[in-house]
Amino acid sequence: MEEGSVRRDPGKCMFENIREDIRMHEGKWSSQGLWVMLPYRFGCWRYSVGPALLRKPLSVAYRVMKTLSQILTGIDLPCEVKVGRRFRIEHFGGIIISGDAILGDDVVVRNGVTIGLKRRDDPGSPVIGNRVDIGAGAKLLGKIRIGDDVIIGANAVVITDVPSNSIAVGIPARIIPRKKCVSNQEGCPSAVVLNPHSLNAADLELAVLSN
Ligand SMILES: CC(C)(COP(=O)(O)OP(=O)(O)OC[C@H]1O[C@@H](n2cnc3c(N)ncnc32)[C@H](O)[C@@H]1OP(=O)(O)O)[C@@H](O)C(=O)NCCC(=O)NCCS
């Protein structure tokens, strides 16, 4: 993940973050991903409320909202997870993200994705870079680092670091360099370099999927 990448304060900017979440889910209120992002944003925001006496009822409200969204969507996204900008949840069901995981900007997760501990007695969860597209059913386990512009294939089990601009597929995941990159980072093996900042979400998705 880039050092110093601009992040919104998850507490202070609750409404701005929610507006962005709505845009990322194409304004579809029926999108289960959005049902999860609302309690998530609320949960983050409540930490910014100073007086403990005021925070207590907000925490109770958060617990109720989170449990309901979990039951309705099968997605567990605790508000302790650090999520970057423009996070998108495609589809729903069986998505579990551990509280100590860190996700960069423009990360996409899909149904069946687990991001969490490798073993119960082995603390530490993945740190995921920017523009990482995680395929359906993929499991990312343990204290690993996933670079920027990475695609994780469907059903991959990733237990080692994945360098930027690569694809991880299979069980355990093997790493393949990407043919095209969406960043202009050093080490990008591609002749075709796209600047993600000049692309909108749909273009970026197209670029990622066409790799
Ligand atoms: C990884 C993925 C993006 C393909 O990337 P790609 O750049 O087109 O890669 P290729 O198809 O050329 O495959 C490269 C190698 O990875 C293998 N591979 C691709 N996807 C794989 C997967 N999910 N599991 C295991 N191996 C896979 C291919 O067999 C090929 O192996 P080889 O080099 O031994 O021949 C795609 O297969 C994938 O898994 N996408 C996830 C999409 C998704 O989750 N869709 C669900 C929507 S609900």
Model confidence at 95: pLDDT above 90:
yes
Give per-residue pLDDT as tens, 145-200: 999 999 999 999 999 999 999 999 999 999 999 986 655 555 554 433 444 433 44
Q: What is the DSSP string of the chain?
A: --TT-----TTTTHHHHHHHHHHHTTT-TT-HHHHHHHHHHHHHHHTT---HHHHHHHHHHHHHHHHHHHHHH-EE--TTSEE-TT-EEES-SSEEE-TT-EE-TT-EEETT-EEE-SBTTB----EE-SS-EE-TT-EEESS-EE-SS-EEPTT-EE-S-B-SSEEEETTTTEEEE-SSBSS--TT---S-B--GGGS-HHHHHHHHHT-
Q: Which of 11-15, 119-123, 128-132, 174-178 has the lowest mean pLDDT?
A: 11-15
Q: Are 84 and 101 in contact (CB under 8 A)?
A: no
* 36 has a pLDDT exceeding 90: yes
Is the pLDDT assigned to residue 135 strictly greater than 90?
Answer: yes
End-to-end alpha carbon distance in the chain? 21
Fold for the domain defined by 80-211 = UDP N-Acetylglucosamine Acyltransferase; domain 1 (2.160.10)
**What is the domain partition of the chain in residue ranges?**
8-76, 80-211
What's 196's DSSP letter?
Answer: G
Q: Distance from the CA of 78 to the center of ligand 1, in angstroms? A: 29
CA neighbor of 81 nearest in space, from 49, 118, 58, 115: 115
**Nearest C-alpha neighbor of 204 from the set 113, 128, 133, 129:** 133
Comparing 47 with 208, the larger pLDDT belongs to: 47
Q: Whose Cα sits closest to atom 25 in ligand 1?
A: 170
For the Cβ of 129 lying below 6 angstroms from any atom of ligand 1, the answer is no
Q: Is 70 in the pocket of ligand 1 (CB under 6 A)?
A: no
pLDDT score at 13 = 82
Task: Write the pLDDT tens digit of every residue in 5-17.
Answer: 435 566 568 899 9
- Under DSSP, the state recorded for 197 is G
Among 111, 167, 179, 208, name the best residue to mutate to test ligand 1's pocket (greatest count of ligand atoms within 8 A of Cβ). 167
Residue 162, sorted as left (phi over 0), alpha (psi -120 to 50) or beta, turns out to be beta
